[in-house]
Structure 1
Amino acid sequence: MRRLVARALARPLVLAAAATAIPLASAAPASADSIVVGGFPVEVSDSPWTVALSSRDRFGGTRAGQFCGGVAVGRTTVLTAAHCLGEDVLGSPPERVRDLSVIAGRTDLVSDQGREIPVRDVWVNPAHDDVSNAGDFAVLTLSEALPAGSAIGMAAEGDPAYRPDTRALVYGWGDTSGAGDYANSLRAARVRVLSDASCERAYPGSDDGRYLAGSMLCAGEEAGGRDSCQGDSGGPLVAQGRLVGLVSWGSGCGRPGSPGVYTRVSAVLRTLGWDHQAARQSGGA
């Protein structure tokens, strides 16, 4: 039986080998050059809004404490997945994680590139359902501003970037194979936005989870092989230069017929009342 998998790391990464012990439903094998799953290396300078969430206290220093992704939508505002900030991931409420920070401007987690900025405030969507993963988003407020040009615009409802078959990129430092092979350097994978009908067929409400078109978006390839995976949660799905999704959940990684499911950014905008700011890069900051 396949198992629903939220895409955050659920235990400390004290040693690199510890990552391989994270339980994960078996996934379709990835190609030899797979990264993210079925992806390629990128420089953070090409996507400066892609950031990593970090806590060395919780996840160790091997990969700078990275456990999830995030995306800057304003100079002090970062969106991520709500489930990344759950007690089952962090071991305590996020406000009690003393070293919770965002790593920005760093391609390789083990380098000293970029900045590590403490998180000043955390807002987790109170309507997040940790069973279905509906409403899977949170807002982080940074203690210091990111450089100008570090934020990405968000796609409001009706934006053509949500149309089925639109090409998109998903970014992250997560598992590159579905078997616990975690990347030190940022990766991206080319995927396609899929129709709500195909996503509902993939996740009709069985043990694999239920797709809810009003708050979710799915992307990948019908044949599998390109996908987000563990450790990528909260990271950006970008289409036509705009943010359309946040990595949320899926059944395994890169499996045929089991695309990645993302929090739909237009639903985030509605919930936060940011609809009129979607075309700007302020994100309510």
Structure 2
Amino acid sequence: MFQGFNLNVSNESRFDSPSTYDEILKSREDNVRESLENFYNEEGLLNGDSLRKEWFPEIENCHVFISHSSKDRELALKLANWLYHEFKIESFIDSTVWGFADKLLKQIDNKYAYREETKDYSYEIRNYTTSHVHMMLSNALNSMIERSECLLFLNTENAIRNISLKEDREQYTFSPWIMAELQTSALIEKKQSPNSQRPFGSLESNKTDIESIVKRAKSFQMIHKANVEHLNNITCENLSEWAKDCNGEKGYNALTTLYRDYAPGCR
């Protein structure tokens, strides 16, 4: 990662453009397997490294990592389309792998945690399986932040709340994934992109019960401090100006102009 930006979104209509990038994103999702059977070794153990590479693959040659609230998935897709249409910039959208984590966890839990006699799941086993899957997902996201040249954080009301705790007004998020991604981007060593030579671098019977449990679990909320101080602040208006200043530049060259205009350390 070379630079990060805190994008305050006020008008998403600025990102209206042909959906040329949708097929690229869909092709990535289609490559993910839907079975666990190919990942057992001779001893009958699941190979976590092979699972991570298949279910949460590292995407080559992504210019930008887009961090966002799950509620802003459509906005993130519109931004990715706009970046590709304007600059041929390829994006990694983190929510495209969150769904994979849920699918993988469901397959594992159906095989190991479901109790036929009581028609429910073992709490202890689910805690254990969830920790494995979430750690694989976290490692995969951290790796993609490190490999991408630029991080764009979509700062919306869905992602960030201004909350006053003991008279200290700070920005907080309800999402542990946003908290982790922002913290990773703050700690990761900024470096020139290796890709650039520039100086910048079947359970139908109890389905209703399970759904009610999931719904109740999702009502749980915990706040986490959103560390955005290390990111350069930009707006949708800044992105529009960037598009005008690029004069047809694409890919990494277009990002160079963005850094020059809105990242003080690169001027």
- Fold conserved between structures, TM > 0.5: no
Which one has the bigger helix percentage? Answer: 2
Greater relative contact order, per chain length (Cα 8 Å cut-off, separation 6+): 2
Which one has the bigger strand percentage? Answer: 1
Normalising by the smaller structure, the TM-score range is under 0.3
Normalised to the residue count of structure 1, the TM-score between the two structures is 0.24
Normalised to the residue count of structure 2, the TM-score between the two structures is 0.25
